[in-house]
Amino acid sequence: MKSTLLLSLLFLASFSYSQTTIKGIVLDETGESVIGANIYIQDTYDGTSSDEVGAFEFKTTMEGEATIVVSYVGYEDFSLNITIAKTDLSFNFKLEPSASELDAVVITAGSFEASDKRKAVVLKPLDIVMTAGATADIAGALNTLPGTQTVGETGQLFVRGGAASETRSFIDGMWVQKPYGSSVANVPARGRFSPFLFKGTIFSTGGYSAEYGQALSAALILETTDLAPRTKTGVYAMTVGAGASHTQRWEKSALDVSVDYFNLSPYLKLMPQNIAWDKAFQSVNTQLVFRQKTSKTGMFKLLSTFSRSGFALQYPDADNVLQTNPLSLNNDNLYLNTTYKAMLGEKWSFFSGLAYSNNQDNISSNFGLDTKDESIQLKWRLGTQLHEKVSLKFGGEYLASQWDEAFQDKESQGFESQLKETYLANFVETDLQLSKKLLARVGGRFEYSQLLQKMNFAPRTSIAYKTSKHSQISLAAGQFHQTPDNEQMRFQQNLNFESADHYLFNFQQIKGGRIFRVEAYWKEYRNLIRQAANGQRNNLGNGFARGIDFFYRDKTTINNGDFWISYSYLDTERWYRDFPEASTPNFASKHNASLVYKHWIPKWSSLIGFTYSVASPRAYNDPNETAFNAARTPVFQDLSFNASYLTTLWGQSTVIYVAINNLPGFKNNFGQRFSRQANTDGEFTSIPIEPGAKRFFLVGAFVTLGQRMTEAERKAL
């Protein structure tokens, strides 16, 4: 046994001694990092992919003359003849965009893409992470884009006059049932998933593909990373928690595991709060990601996350908000996502996926409320190039879900609700290259709900025309349907799908490191749920949302600087729920604007950023006034700052991160919370809805063990 072990160790030592390390960095023509580029020795399996800073490193046992190849979608392949000896090699590669990518016409109406897959995108994945004010939350970063409304008391995405429930999230094409952590009214939630998990983000503010459904307003489409470039271990500590992760890379597979623990108790002792916490928010989150390259084109992915969280606080009493009751919330959430995609022959692509979700909330106060959401989804998709100028994709999905709710208070025996749903959908979509400058996309989606016992068909179409080498216009139109919320369906199920018609016009120009886009839109809502005077629900509600969005980004004018400006104008009204008349919903503000600035300081190896956001007043209803929704919130303002310092601790690559939200301490107010019953004077008392604190700060250190940061990596960051 001992001799066998010794021989094995000697063999491994001799094997590692004969290996040559090849490392370096991949940049595009502007000097930006290229993430996910393939670097390999031609005619071998030796190679890797560039990481989040464009760096790569792999070992090879080859010796002598060889060719190293760098490939990336949207860029010309780069090859270099090299000689491999016993000396390690280092390269800096610079890729040039392919002529077809520069000239290509793409659909841009309603779509913001954060990706490294194509050159003509508005954002990069790191922009999601490094935007000041977002504190690495995906929704926080996307709220700096046009088309979104600032609703600070929820922390969720509200798009073009739509409620948060009208924006659906998808990971690798699969629906995410609970994308945000559990919370209670007026206590904001955060997204459940780290932005570092994804290599691409498509944020569609309207007119999205027929492949996705059940969203009246918007779709957030997230694509996870592929094989990790190399084995590494990371640890971090912050003012709100700590965590550790490990990535193990093999030749054709990779495994990532991580554990995070958050406890706000120490932080809350430092920062005065507007919330009377009995138990600060705590959570434990685990994540497992496995990737297996099954063939040259095949990839299997598995994502599994589990979180357990809870908090307790003094919460305003519904009948008299001037008094409080102790309230606690505990949550367990499990999400499992598996997908497989590959080429079938030379022309057909295949995708299949399975997703499972289980979310349980327990709220305890002077009442008890237990809810459980469970779902399983199956999906498949086929795609092919029918002709040089005609591509086709089609597929289907099956979703089975169950929602259980049990309520009990001190004055009644309570009630229980249960909703079981079987949802079926099929979609088809084709891209038609009508000319070198004109592209059309036509598709449709068929849906059936067993719970509603209704079906629908949603046609969708988009057209893009390239007006010059650097600019194009796009138009989109389509119908979108969504099953009513469980909270409405618990009362009765003889309802119909809620519906919205989208019409969009978009102009976009990308030239010389500058991006400008403007988009006008109109949304018509139909069949919205209304509550009649007797409490019965019906589909007689309606509404509209119309507006115009502007976006400008400039990475050229200021040396080492990068900024974008966004502005949205929104005019919207709805006659739905318990509204006595058509009115602007309380989550919609007419004007929203953001200025985001990032600056790299090479001398200090630091990146600093600022985000200024402003939103006009929002409407809310004051029951002490005769007019409905006549009250207005103050103007919302926020100036946030963050800084990242790249250094080494004990020889390990380290990032020191600092973030402060609402740096000047603007006094923001999101309206008033009113008592459900009037007092003896006939008035409804109220308290202001405010952030938990004027400011929020975060300090953290993120260390990658066993990895030294090269000068090339510093420059890339």
Give the pLDDT of residue 122: 59
Give the pLDDT of residue 110: 65
**Average pLDDT over the chain, rounded to whole?**
88
Q: What residue spans define the domains of the chain? A: 16-99, 104-716
CA 683, CA 671: separation in Å to the nearest integer?
Answer: 17
Other beta carbons within 10 Å of 171 = 24
| Tokens encoding 151 | 């609703």
Burial label, 332 (beta-carbon count in 10 A; 0-12, 13-18, 19+) = middle
Burial label, 551 (beta-carbon count in 10 A; 0-12, 13-18, 19+) = buried
Intervals of the chain under pLDDT 50: 1-17, 99-102, 115-120, 709-717
Other beta carbons within 10 Å of 174 = 23
Beta bridge partners of 701: 237, 656
Residues 325 and 317 sit within 8 Å (Cβ to Cβ): yes
Give the pLDDT of residue 55: 86
Give the pLDDT of residue 65: 85
Give the pLDDT of residue 104: 56
Look up the CATH architecture of domain 104-716: Beta Barrel (2.40)
CA 405, CA 419: separation in Å to the nearest integer?
Answer: 9
3-state secondary structure of 107: coil
- φ and ψ at 713, to 5 degrees? -65, -40
Residues 443 and 430 sit within 8 Å (Cβ to Cβ): yes
Give the pLDDT of residue 11: 32
CA distances from 511 to 120, 465, 468, 469 (A): 10, 17, 11, 9
| Tokens encoding 608 | 């600093």
CA 688, CA 662: separation in Å to the nearest integer?
Answer: 18
Angle subtended at Cα 509 by Cα 504 and Cα 511, rounded to the nearest 5 degrees: 165
CA 332 to chain centre: 21
User: Taking the model in full, what pTM does it have?
Assistant: 0.85
CA 48, CA 228: separation in Å to the nearest integer?
Answer: 8
Give the pLDDT of residue 195: 83
Burial label, 534 (beta-carbon count in 10 A; 0-12, 13-18, 19+) = exposed
CA 713, CA 33: separation in Å to the nearest integer?
Answer: 9
Angle subtended at Cα 438 by Cα 435 and Cα 441, rounded to the nearest 5 degrees: 110
Extract the runs of DSSP E, i.e. beta strands, from 47-172: 47-49, 55-60, 64-71, 78-84, 89-94, 111-115, 167-171
Beta bridge partners of 254: 249, 291
Task: Establish how many alpha carbons lie within 13 A of residue 550's alpha carbon, considering only the half-sphere containing its beta carbon.
Answer: 9
Angle subtended at Cα 154 by Cα 149 and Cα 156, rounded to the nearest 5 degrees: 60
CA 177, CA 52: separation in Å to the nearest integer?
Answer: 28
Give the pLDDT of residue 348: 93
Domain range 16-99, its CATH number among 3.40.50.1110, 2.60.40.1120, 2.60.40.420, 2.20.25.190: 2.60.40.1120
| Tokens encoding 487 | 């909270």
